[in-house]
Amino acid sequence: MGDLIQCLDHGYVRLVDVMGSDLTVVNAARVSYAKASNSLNERDIKLIKFLAREGHTSPFRHAVAQFEVYAPLMVARQWWKYVVGSSHQEATGDSLDAWNESSRRYITEEPTFYIPQPDEWRTAPENSKQGSGSPLNEYEGELLTGWLMECIEKGEDLYERAIKRGVAPEQARLFLPAYGMYVRWYWTASLQSVCHFLAQRLEHDAQREIQEYAKAILELIKPHFPVSVEELL
């Protein structure tokens, strides 16, 4: 499909493929009665609302979407928890998630890093052990952006020197600052699993960086499943 939305400074989400529609959900729910709809009608919409409201989630797992994501490692590792959770928690009941990620064991492409601008640094929250508070002042922000750039430049230099000395890429990558480094992966998930991710990562207290990706996922997926996404969220 190729629909793509830019995120952060260098990242993006691309919708690669979609299987199904709101009609897929309806027909999956009605198969036990040997019935099917050819086009979505008001009765079908009421059924989707009922399924979502009552927690009858299996019909939503017959629709699937595939994304290509390019994001900092700190975003990727938060996201990965949903793949693990989808296979082991009854809350999602979903084993249709798949994740394939680029690896610096095999490639030595130019590393790319997420570097917040001076006005993007945030304070620690006053009443919580996680999340963010208000923005830092401009002076502090400029100082922190400078520090981060120095750290990245030093790490990249050591990485390149290790490669030139014949060190295996899987070990040379130890010199690269990890959490801000961009990685690329394919995420294939059922509609239910996608909406479970969105329901949590669109919340106001989710980390801002992953919120940006969640908004992109929502914008890409909702036109294909307008009723189901609205009800599941």
For residues 101 and 185, the answer to whether their CB atoms sit within 8 Å is yes
pLDDT tens profile 60-91: 999 999 999 999 999 999 998 887 655 544 44
Count CA atoms closer than 13 A to 203's CA, side-chain side: 10
Question: Which backbone phi and psi does 156 adopt, to 5 degrees?
Answer: -65, -40
Distance CA 71, CA 113 (A): 9
State the average pLDDT over residues 146-155: 97
For residues 231 and 29, the answer to whether their CB atoms sit within 8 Å is no
For residues 217 and 71, the answer to whether their CB atoms sit within 8 Å is no
State the average pLDDT over residues 97-108: 75
pLDDT greater than 80 at residue 96: no
Q: Is 14 a catalytic residue?
A: no
pLDDT greater than 50 at residue 92: no
Whole-number mean pLDDT of the chain? 90
State the average pLDDT over residues 119-142: 87
pLDDT tens profile 15-49: 999 999 999 999 999 987 777 788 999 999 999 99
Among candidates 97, 69, 95, 64, which has minimal Cα distance to 224? Answer: 64
- Sign of torsion, CA 138 117 136 148? negative
Count CA atoms closer than 13 A to 163's CA, side-chain side: 19
pLDDT greater than 70 at residue 93: no
The reported pLDDT for the residue numbered 85 is 56
The reported pLDDT for the residue numbered 107 is 62
Q: How many CB atoms sit inside 10 A of residue 189's CB?
A: 26
pLDDT tens profile 205-233: 899 999 999 999 999 999 999 999 999 99
Q: Catalytic one among 61, 104, 173, 201?
A: 201
For residues 8 and 209, the answer to whether their CB atoms sit within 8 Å is yes
pTM score of the predicted model: 0.89
The reported pLDDT for the residue numbered 67 is 97
pLDDT category at 109 given cuts 50, 70, 90 is confident
The reported pLDDT for the residue numbered 82 is 80
Written as six digits, the tokens of 134 are: 């208000």
Task: List, in order, residues 6 or more apart from 108 with CB less than 8 Å away.
Answer: 163, 169
Among candidates 74, 71, 72, 99, which has minimal Cα distance to 85? Answer: 99
Number of DSSP helices (H) and strands (E) in the chain, helices first? 8, 5
